[in-house]
Amino acid sequence: MWFTYYHSEKLPSAIDRYAAEIKRVIGVVDMHLKRAGTPYLVGDKFTYADLAFVPWFNAVPWALQQPEVEKEFEKEYPAYFAWWTKVRNRPAVKKTLDDQLEAIKKSG
């Protein structure tokens, strides 16, 4: 995100590299979930392993500058998409993400 939003000079090679890395990590999660055959990263229960990815994956559309990228991910990474949808809609996670968005809007 640094090279996309904050670096004094736009460096397309750096932006592209980190966009590719985001998709690589999503692909790893997708493949793990497919192979494991479980709804969560470490089995049948929601754990810290799932929670640790929330801030990272929540920032993906912003980092890629593609607000609708999740529609692409639904087709390209179906296991990841199902998992991420389940995780971000858990009541406590959803409330936290909603509160974060509200704070961002208020701060301008």
**pLDDT tens-place values along the chain, 108 residues long:** 545 555 667 767 777 788 889 999 999 999 999 999 999 999 999 999 999 999 999 989 888 878 888 888 999 999 999 999 999 999 999 999 999 999 989 997
Q: Domain 12-107 maps to which CATH number in 3.30.565.10, 1.10.10.10, 2.60.40.10, 1.20.1050.10?
A: 1.20.1050.10
The 3-class SS string of 55-103 reads: HHHHCHHHHCCCCCHHHHHHHHCHHHHHHHHHHHCCHHHHHHHHHHHHH
Each domain of the chain, given as residue ranges in start order, spans 12-107
| Distant-in-sequence contacts of 3-7, Cβ < 8 A, 24+ apart | 4/63, 4/65
The model carries a pTM of 0.84
